[in-house]
Structure 1
Amino acid sequence: MHPTDFIGRSLPPLTVVVERGPVAAFARAVKDNSEVYQRPAAAREAGLNGLPVPPTFSFVMRWWGAFGELQPEVPAGTVELDDLIGALRADGGLILHADQQFVYLAPIVVGDVLQVSRVVEDVYTRPSRGGQTMTFARIRTDVRDDVDHLVLTETMTLLHRP
């Protein structure tokens, strides 16, 4: 497949359980020592309904809370991120993480069970200053809570350069 053939294609959906241990470990890993990620009482004192996730936690939560038995059926026509990366690298070159954006619409807290859907929004090219053609792939992730409210939109842009 050509990289532009991925536009509009979905990646496998996920169900993710937000757990206390991974949230606390992630906060420590990114050097955020705030007690609101460690102690329920500190989170309550801050006016939160539970231990919140650090701002960029959603980027890794699919590896810490996506238990096999909770995963939804994968619809036909779904592609893997590795398939897109393989198409981008078909003629060699490097893949770089060019951009990441997080738009939170509601707090995500420990105990939430989230539905994650991902789609390849766009694949486009731009010339580099050196005259090479760079290819960008933008993947949008929508995260919904257990009553189907959108709580987060995350956008990742990958860059392929020859």
Structure 2
Amino acid sequence: MIDRSHIGREFGVHTADIEKGRLRFFAKATGETNPIYFDEDAAKAADLPTLPSPPTFLFSMDMEVPEPFGILSVLNVDLGKVLHGNQAFEYFKDVYAGDAITFRSEITDIFDKKGGALEFIDVKTRATNQQGDLVAEMARTFVVRNG
């Protein structure tokens, strides 16, 4: 059983610089075709200051740390037994090239189902910009297969 005392624990605090090349690469990799994600002139014509962050891009930046699954190590969970259960995004402000985004993650719940055969780890990540404004909240659930 995963130790429930970790509920409320913060981890993974880091800051990532949002770069134009990374935004373009992510947009292309996800099949985005809107020119505002590739062409600064198109972004400015759409009344944007520069290239915006495509949807879900912040998740990839949150994972850009030396140990993206470090939480599982802390909880003594074998990555080979983990499934991706859920992911959700809530956006509050736009993110643009040149921003510095700080990510703070917290374990919000740990629970089990099927008599402990499956354990769930809920994690919430808050992303703030260089002014300290909340730009997004991301939630994800890890499912651990036991037995």
Match of 1:110 among 89, 93, 97: 97
1:134 corresponds to: 118
Indicate the SS of the match to 1:21: helix
Structure 2 gaps of 5+ residues are none
Change (3 A) 1:93 1:147: closer
Following TM superposition, by how much is the alpha carbon of 1:63 offset from its aligned partner in structure 2, in angstroms? 5.3
Match of 1:87 among 76, 80, 102: 76
Indicate the SS of the match to 1:15: strand
1:155 corresponds to: 139
CA deviation map 1:8-56 (0-9, x unaligned): 1111310110001111001111111221111111112222222111111
Indicate the SS of the match to 1:136: strand
Structure 1 gaps of 5+ residues are 69-79
Q: TM-score, normalised by structure 2?
A: 0.86
Whether 1:144 and 2:131 are equivalent positions in the alignment is: no
Change (3 A) 1:132 1:116: closer
Percent identity, aligned pairs only, is: 27
Q: TM-score, normalised by structure 1?
A: 0.79
Following TM superposition, by how much is the alpha carbon of 1:112 offset from its aligned partner in structure 2, in angstroms? 0.4
Higher alpha-carbon deviation: 46-55 or 10-19: 46-55
Following TM superposition, by how much is the alpha carbon of 1:5 offset from its aligned partner in structure 2, in angstroms? 2.7
Indicate the SS of the match to 1:83: helix
1:13-162 to 2 correspondence within 5 Å?
13-62=13-62, 80-84=70-74, 87-89=76-78, 94-127=81-114, 133-162=117-146
AA of the residue aligned to 1:102: F
Change (3 A) 1:40 1:25: same
User: Residues of 2 paired with 1:132 and 1:11: CA distance?
Assistant: 25
When the two chains are superposed, the root-mean-square deviation of aligned CA atoms in Å is 2.5
- Contact 1:3/1:88, CA 8 A, preserved across alignment: no
Indicate the SS of the match to 1:153: strand
User: Residues of 1 paired with 2:48 and 2:80: CA distance?
Assistant: 45
User: Residues of 1 paired with 2:4 and 2:116: CA distance?
Assistant: 18
- Contact 2:2/2:110, CA 8 A, preserved across alignment: no
AA of the residue aligned to 2:43: A
- Contact 1:18/1:113, CA 8 A, preserved across alignment: yes
Following TM superposition, by how much is the alpha carbon of 1:123 offset from its aligned partner in structure 2, in angstroms? 0.6
